[in-house]
Amino acid sequence: MSDYLIEITGMKKVYGEGEAAVYALDGVDVQVARGEFVAIMGPSGSGKSTLMNIVGCLDRPTEGKYVLDGRDVSQMSKNELAKVRNEKLGFIFQSFNLLPRLSALANVMLPMLYTAEDVSDEEAEARAIAALTSVGLEKRLHHRPNQLSGGQQQRVAIARALVNHPPLILADEPTGNLDSKSSVEIMDILHNLHKSGVTIVMVTHEPDIAAHAERIICVKDGRILSDGRDGHSPCLDHKVLAG
């Protein structure tokens, strides 16, 4: 098995045609090793979310190749992609995306509805409780999202992302809707996850959030502007971020 969890070569994503064509991604090559914690930065509209959607198997590239965990996913069918998302990926969204009518526990159990092997109710519950405990919410199992703070909601979402034990966690601006105290809590959790060996790819606008990552990829106009591990990145410069 390759050392790389993610191998992307020559990736393009084009919206529209002819004159109106928008190159959201315009030739991206990137590899992410197992266990890395990567931050993606860049100005608004630079293609970060587009890249995340493709990495997250929610979208397919117009051109190029994407190998995830040793398998080429760029040409997979919708059903195959669904299976990959369920088994290999955990999503953390800026807006949490919890189902409001369900308890924290039921929200975390959702991914196990769609696993290939049937998970018994007891096992699903046990796994969900374990995941919620790992984010410190063992006392909030039966609370609904509207009974939880933003930080707690995002922790529920992290538990949901972890419950199927995926090798890769994708977070698109995970702290974008949170105050600084909650942001620190969330970053602590991601930090611990990283230490336990999970690969994390995170999009963020905030330099101090990006500072938690070991590697910062800077994207601009659909291309990779820089990719470094030394804690420096043109994207940390406010002029670049402003576009």
Partner 1 sequence: MKLGKIFRTAWEGLMLNKVRSFLTTLGVIIGVASVIVMLAVSAGAEAAIADQINALGANLIIVSPMRGVPGASRTLLLDDAYAIAEQVVGITGISAEQNPAPQNIRAGGVTLESIALVGTTADFPSVRDYAVAEGRYFTADEDERKAKLVVLGAGIAADLFGEESALGQTITVGTTKLTVIGVMEPKGIVSDVDYDGRIYLPINLVLQKYMPSSMLRTASVRTIYLKAESQEQIPSIIAQTTALLAERHDVDAAKPDFTVQTQQDIIATQEATTAAFRDLLAWVAGVSLLVGGIGIMNIMLVSVTERTREIGLRMALGARPANVLTQFLIEAVILSLAGGLIGVIVGVGGSYLFGSLGTMRTEIVPLSIPLAFGAAAAVGIFFGYYPATQAAKLDPIEALRRE
* Contact positions vs Mg ion (CB under 5 A): 49
Give the CB-nearest residue to Mg ion. 49
As a whole number of angstroms, the distance between CA 15 and CA 43 comes to 19
Window contacting ligand ATP (CB under 6 A); options: 42-50, 66-74, 117-125, 138-146 = 42-50
Could you tell me the smallest distance in angstroms from the CB atom of residue 223 to ligand ATP? Answer: 12
Residues with Cβ within 8 Å of 133's Cβ and at least 6 positions away in sequence, in order, are: none
Burial of residue 196 (number of CB atoms within 10 Å: 0-12, 13-18, 19+):
exposed
Applying CB under 8 A, which of residues 1, 17, 78, 242 lies at the interface with partner 1? Answer: 78
Q: Is residue 113 part of the contact set for partner 1 (CB under 8 A)?
A: yes
Phi, psi of 81 (to 5 degrees): -65, -40
Applying CB under 6 A, which of residues 45, 136, 167, 234 lies at the interface with ligand ATP? Answer: 45
Tokens of 59: 């979208």
Applying CB under 8 A, which of residues 16, 114, 142, 192 lies at the interface with partner 1? Answer: 114
**Helical spans, DSSP H, in the chain:** 48-55, 78-88, 104-109, 121-134, 150-162, 180-195, 207-210, 238-241
Interacting residues toward partner 1 by CB under 8 A: 53, 56, 58-59, 78-79, 82-83, 85-87, 91, 93, 97, 99, 101-102, 110-111, 113-115, 118, 160, 164
